[in-house]
Amino acid sequence: MPRKNVKVEASQKSASKEALPKKKLKNPIVLQNPRGMKDILPGDQGYWTQVRRVLESSYQKYGFQRIDIPVLEYANLFSRSIGEDTDIMDKEVYSFKTKGGDEVALRPEFTAGIARSYIQHGMNVLPKPVKLFSIGQAYRYDRPQEGRYREFWQANFDIFGEEDSILDAEVMQLAYRVLGNLKLKDIQFQVNSIGCTDCRKSYLSLLVSYFKSKNKKLCKDCKRRLGTNPLRILDCKEDKCIQVSSGAPQTVDHLCEDCHEHFKSLLEYLDELEIPYSINPSLVRGLDYYSRTVFEIWSLAEGKRLSLGGGGRYDKLIENLGGEPTPSIGFGLGLDRIVMEMKRTNAKQYEAPKPRIFLAQLGKLAKRKSLKLFADLEKNGILVAESFGRGGLKSQLRTANKLGVDITLIVGQKEALDETVIVKNMVSGTQETVAKEKLLPLIKKIMKSKLVVLKYNNK
């Protein structure tokens, strides 16, 4: 279509637009994140990349394999594994019916979905232990506040098929290493053992009779929990319930011999590893699938307590979901809170390597050629900065100077025709014209030369 016609059409369009009466929008677009959700902008990505890099190298060193699962699962997977009478299932899970009538839910945590995948894909036949690492978003419809979002990120580590408490110690050591590598200090583990289903039975009857005797002092939710999930009362954040719980029988005093031995040896490992921990009898964790070891990782910086992660054993989970008996342990790290802590303490961020070469071009033909040259250099692993959108050489050189590059490559009309490039050494100020095929060896030589390296280091 000739250019003229296009212009006419465009102007007609805008004229007719003006003539239209202004309509009130029914559903004005809200240019804001949904409550409790956030964008992670480029300015913060240095922290997030640092976290991902540390996690990436840690999970590999500890023998984990990566797994990615959908954020959506059938809703009853969570009610069956996390438990009906838990805060997560009661109030926080994002569940809905699909157009096809399926009840689905956004994952509030990872382990249930990973366990589903373990069974679905017959991972029970793999050599044990099966160690799986995952990272991504999780969703909980909670009241948003600092460090508590409705969409948040977790890194999740699960080990299937081992009962030995050395695995419990290993995952705690791994979590401690990750946080240490991110330069987070004042970390303390809170540990407890809530026993196995056998020893928990007699403990629960003791607990129920204790709480029944204090029934009047409990909050409304805990009065209900007394009949449905008494262990959760120990986890209640209401002041009056905390007070009642402080006198309650403790799980660690009522462990069967095996669970007692398991917990004792875990503590011996932690002592050996010099991992700071504190036994916390009221730590039961808000999910039903846990057994024996439960733990949380707290940052105690500035006298505050911030939970950066938590986990524990779930020896019966796979079996309860229909798989074969598979003792397992795992934990999740809250990445939003870790980044929050890194920012607060000015911890190291990942810095992308900076280009040491700038590519400038002058004229139409040169512009065309320089995009190709950029790709050739990139293919050879050479990082190049450019400002292709600019035409003037002066402004491009200004940019090159600002970036502090060592070399500027200049392609003008003449060079584009001759298949040459001007190589300007920004340190010595000298420049030479070289044939394109000799460019790569020359760049490599200059980059290696002491002069350039020295200037680079002195900046």
**Which one of 44-52, 129-137, 301-309, 339-347 is the stretch in contact with ligand AMP (CB under 6 A)?**
301-309
Q: Which two tokens stand for residue 449?
A: 């030369």
| Residue ranges in 106-135 that form contacts with ligand AMP under rule CB under 6 A | 109
Q: Which of 83, 309, 323, 363 binds ligand AMP (CB under 6 A)?
A: 309
CB 160 within 8 A of CB 130: yes
| Residue ranges in 140-179 that form contacts with ligand AMP under rule CB under 6 A | 140, 142, 147-149, 152, 154
- Minimum CB distance to ligand AMP, residue 298 (Å): 9
Q: Which of 213, 307, 413, 428 binds ligand AMP (CB under 6 A)?
A: 307
Alpha helices per DSSP H over 83-124: 87, 111-120
Sign of the four-CA dihedral 375, 376, 381, 384: negative
Question: Other C-beta atoms within 10 Å of 264: how many?
Answer: 13
Q: Which of 171, 222, 308, 423 binds ligand AMP (CB under 6 A)?
A: 308
- Minimum CB distance to ligand AMP, residue 154 (Å): 5
- Minimum CB distance to ligand AMP, residue 10 (Å): 48
Alpha helices per DSSP H over 109-256: 111-120, 165-181, 197-213, 220-228, 239-246
DSSP string over 28-71:
----SPPTT-----GGGHHHHHHHHHHHHHHHHHTT-EE----S
Q: Which of 169/283 has CB closer to ligand AMP?
A: 283
The answer to whether 11 contacts ligand AMP (rule: CB under 6 A) is no
Question: Other C-beta atoms within 10 Å of 419: how many?
Answer: 11
Residue 358: name the closest of 384, 319, 335 by CA: 384
**Which one of 193-201, 249-257, 308-316, 450-458 is the stretch in contact with ligand AMP (CB under 6 A)?**
308-316
The answer to whether 38 contacts ligand AMP (rule: CB under 6 A) is no
Q: Which of 209/307 has CB closer to ligand AMP?
A: 307
- Minimum CB distance to ligand AMP, residue 285 (Å): 7
Helices and strands of the chain, counted as H and E runs: 17, 16
- Minimum CB distance to ligand AMP, residue 24 (Å): 37
Question: How many Å apart are CA 233 and CA 249, to the nearest integer?
Answer: 12
Question: How many Å apart are CA 190 and CA 206, to the nearest integer?
Answer: 24
- Minimum CB distance to ligand AMP, residue 294 (Å): 10
| Residue ranges in 326-355 that form contacts with ligand AMP under rule CB under 6 A | 332, 334, 336-337
- Minimum CB distance to ligand AMP, residue 297 (Å): 7
> Strand (E) positions, 256-380?
277-279, 291-299, 306-313, 328-334, 357-361
Judged by CB under 6 A, how many residues of this single chain contact ligand AMP? 16
Binding region for ligand AMP (CB under 6 A)? 109, 140, 142, 147-149, 152, 154, 307-310, 332, 334, 336-337
